[in-house]
């Protein structure tokens, strides 16, 4: 039996407005009724030898998994799928450093707010990146652009590192919360007059990825209290974990307006000849851990885990068994 989630119209968000509470603006997909004996992803990864959490714990510590066999292939397939989809959408790929200096962390708003969640190489005073947003956006620090250069669209795959201090309990089990994980990030620099139109386009891009992965998901427009202090408007994407019977956040798409560009001194010369601050936007497209968890749990059958059709050309197999 399949229960179909209702599709709801997108919420109209006035420029700079935030709701008083999180609002579900879109839901899509069918929540499957799993077969008897269905398992959560941490049991499936052990059964099919996809991820070894204990081995990662031995090498480094909790939250640093080792991907093996088809688990490693699935990771690589998802990364390439996300990069190819972003390329089709007009994003230029960049490979960026995994460590940044304090000026970069300040420019995008990680410092001095989130230093407790970042890994800090103190001897060299460098920080492991929590997201590719940080080095990609900082490519344009202290730059003056021309209005006709917009939009500037970059994407990048990186490992991401987060201490997740204070996170514990059943809700962080398995892939639900890691200290190191893979993510493809999309970043745009845009003219202030077009940044909210761009935000909607980025939201549609992430939506399209989840539809192609055949996952039930919803989109939330976050209230001011749940957004990061740097963001002016944020959409959160959540996939449904059938085995865990709860929603898992897998992406945030945000418009930062001029918060980052003011710190970065990222400006542009407009058609009127005046120098103004650009707007920055970014989004996860996508973060892998909870996508993998949802894929394994929602697509499991008594015979194995089926791979979505859009992903088969990348995995080169259509089932994990």
Is residue 177 annotated as part of the catalytic site, yes or no?
Answer: yes
Is residue 163 annotated as part of the catalytic site, yes or no?
Answer: no
Taking the CA of residue 141 as centre, how many other CA atoms within 13 Å lie in the half-sphere pointing to its CB?
19
Name the residue with tokens 């499991």. Answer: 300
Q: State both tokens at 49.
A: 């030898």
Q: How far is CA 276 from the centre of its chain?
A: 29
> Which is catalytic among the residues 195, 241, 251, 252?
252
Q: State both tokens at 118.
A: 């970042």
> Which is catalytic among the residues 162, 218, 251, 257?
162
Q: Are 21 and 202 in contact (CB under 8 A)?
A: no
Is residue 173 annotated as part of the catalytic site, yes or no?
Answer: no
Q: Counting beta carbons within 10 angstroms of the beta carbon of residue 249, is it exposed (0 to 12), middle (13 to 18) or buried (19 or more)?
A: middle
Name the residue with tokens 């499957």. Answer: 32
As a whole number of angstroms, the distance between CA 208 and CA 201 comes to 11
Is residue 76 annotated as part of the catalytic site, yes or no?
Answer: no
Is residue 204 annotated as part of the catalytic site, yes or no?
Answer: no
> Which is catalytic among the residues 133, 177, 254, 267?
177
> Which is catalytic among the residues 163, 167, 249, 263?
249
Task: Give Cβ neighbours of residue 147 (< 8 Å, ≥ 6 apart).
Answer: 191, 268, 269, 270, 271
CB atoms within 10 A of CB 227: 18
Catalytic residue numbers, as ranges:
162, 177, 249, 252, 290
């Amino acid at each position: 039996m399949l229960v179909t989630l209702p599709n709801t119209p997108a919420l109209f968000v006035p420029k700079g407005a935030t709701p008083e509470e999180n609002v579900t603006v879109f839901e899509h997909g069918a929540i499957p009724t799993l077969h008897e004996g269905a398992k959560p992803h941490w049991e499936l990864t052990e059964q099919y030898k996809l991820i070894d959490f204990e081995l990662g714990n031995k090498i480094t510590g909790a939250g640093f998994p080792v991907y093996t066999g088809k688990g490693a292939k699935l990771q690589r397939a998802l990364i390439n799928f996300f990069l190819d989809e972003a390329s089709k959408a007009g994003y230029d790929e960049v490979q960026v450093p995994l460590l940044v200096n304090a000026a970069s962390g300040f420019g995008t708003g990680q410092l001095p707010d989130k230093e407790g969640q970042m890994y800090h190489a103190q001897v060299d005073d460098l920080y492991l990146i929590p997201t590719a947003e940080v080095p990609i956006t900082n490519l344009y620090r202290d730059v003056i652009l021309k209005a006709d250069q917009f939009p500037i669209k970059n994407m990048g795959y990186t490992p991401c590192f987060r201490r997740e201090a204070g996170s514990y309990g059943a809700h962080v089990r398995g892939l639900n919360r890691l200290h190191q994980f893979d993510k493809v990030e999309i970043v745009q620099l845009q003219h202030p007059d077009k940044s909210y139109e761009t935000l909607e386009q980025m939201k549609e891009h992430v939506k399209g990825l989840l539809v192609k992965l055949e996952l039930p998901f919803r989109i939330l427009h976050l209230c001011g209290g749940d957004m990061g202090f740097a963001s002016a408007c944020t959409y959160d994407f959540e996939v449904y974990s059938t085995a865990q019977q709860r929603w898992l956040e897998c992406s945030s798409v945000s418009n930062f307006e001029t918060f980052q560009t003011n710190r970065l001194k990222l400006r542009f010369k407009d058609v009127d000849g005046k120098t103004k601050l650009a707007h920055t936007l970014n989004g996860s497209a996508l973060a892998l851990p909870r996508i993998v968890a949802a894929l394994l749990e929602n697509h499991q059958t008594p015979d194995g885990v089926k791979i979505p059709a859009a992903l088969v050309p990348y995995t080169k197999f259509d089932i994990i068994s």
